[in-house]
Structure 1
Amino acid sequence: MEFVDILLKRIEGENELKKPVNALICFSKVTTGKALGALISRMARFRPDKSSVTLLNLIDKEQARDIEDENRYKTELFSGIIPSAEANRLSIRTFVKESENYVEEILRTAEEYDCNLVLLGIGSSLFNPALWHKYLQLKESSSMSELDFSSLLARNRLSIGIFLDNNYRDGNRIFVPLLYQEDAYVFPYLYQLAKNPDVTVTIWDAIGLMESDPKFQKLFQFIVKKTDGEVKLWDNNKKIELDFIQQQDLMIIGFNGWEKLIGSPLSWTSHLPSVLIIKDSKQALK
């Protein structure tokens, strides 16, 4: 089955979107955890009541030594994350884990709690596209030295979203570049977000996917209809300017598209909002 048919089945039939989402949210910084909590609440708002979120705060030995009272730390840590999730009828699990191998901890937790989506958050101190030119390896970054992205992506068989937190507040204005055909795997995610009130999505179809493929046209038209026209195409006759990028709250992009974008000469790539990079489970199986 061509992947466009997979997407049509997912969204037009909404078969998979009717299944509960069991998300594992991994983060080191509190602000990033709060941002991811708000994001998953929006993404799962229209999913069934049995959806769940497992919050995993990964810390190293130095961070663990700084925690004087573990119960107080957990209470303060998760108090800003749990309310938004509970408001959307999501069941919550919370963990604080000291680990020397974040990859193993993430994979083990995802398997133990039967998660079907992993969201991994990175704080703004690491928000530097220059670090992401090859397989998203950030081994030399001190605060995330325990996490090798290339290993995680190679071994993980679930859908994974890598969230680059750049002072995320809300996701009302979303920008979605399509630089490869496979970047369309982000459609189910933007579709779920676009169903929320006050959300507008702008798709930059840089490769003319909607014009050249009738199936993608059908998919896009369905999404537009179901979101009351809040998903729109960027006019390719216009240049994307920095002021437009600075008005956006979130960029959603496919894994391949992200690597191409940050390697491009476009000046605005150094001024991006928060970014959600998607690698779908169908891609992981390749």
Structure 2
Amino acid sequence: MFRCFNLLLLFCLVSYSGTPSIPVKEKKGGIATLSCEVDGKDIIDINLIRMSKNISVCQTEKCSGRIFKNRVCDVVIKDLRFSDAGKYILRFVYKNYPGKTYHLQIHDEVSVKIGEELKLNVLLPNADKVEKNSSGELREVWKRGHGVWSERLSDTDGNLTIKEFTANDAGAYRVLDSEREILITVTVTESSTESKGKWDDTKQHTVEHWIVPTVVCSGILVLAVIVIPVIIWKHQHISHEDNKEPPEVLGNL
């Protein structure tokens, strides 16, 4: 029986090799839906095949797996990872319906500071090459069987790594399979430096510390200009009244 199942998978791959695939583009961490677009309610089972292997599909969204059936025969993949990228074949028994072939592409955006390490987990088993697109110019940076094309790059444990990121490393990195179909696209941009942020915070705190005492001192000065002359005038007026002799005394003299 196991042998018959392998023959069935092989038949599926041969049958779909010349069938155009439906592109499905989603962001890493998002949700992809492989829609069957069939209204029949008598579909007993569905098969999802990828890289000659049958993938288990949960019957409801409440199951613990990331791949489950939705509606009649739609297949949903949630919490997308780079490793999910590639070609899928969706088959089911319904009035000789041939099924569909999908090509799932996953994209992501990464912001890196100058001097930091950039690690992209994009070297999938079905990846054939990695190209960098910068200002419309494509440049191959990695190829299966050859490795990296620069001393600043390394490929270990499925990661394409740049040890010290520079502004020239910014751009769109895309991973292609042997048929030149895009599997992954990662747009890498340069982020502001940490020291600059600290300088801005320090500057802001400095301004705040300068403004508050200035306002307080200004208020005290204004009060002093208004209140002190009044106090002096009152003091002088009281002294002048004290120096005058009472009228009764002058009359007695």
> TM-score of the superposition, structure 1-length normalised?
0.23
The structure richer in helix per residue is 1
Structure showing greater radius of gyration is 2
> TM-score of the superposition, structure 2-length normalised?
0.25
Higher relative contact order (CA 8 A, sep 6+): 1
The structure richer in strand per residue is 2
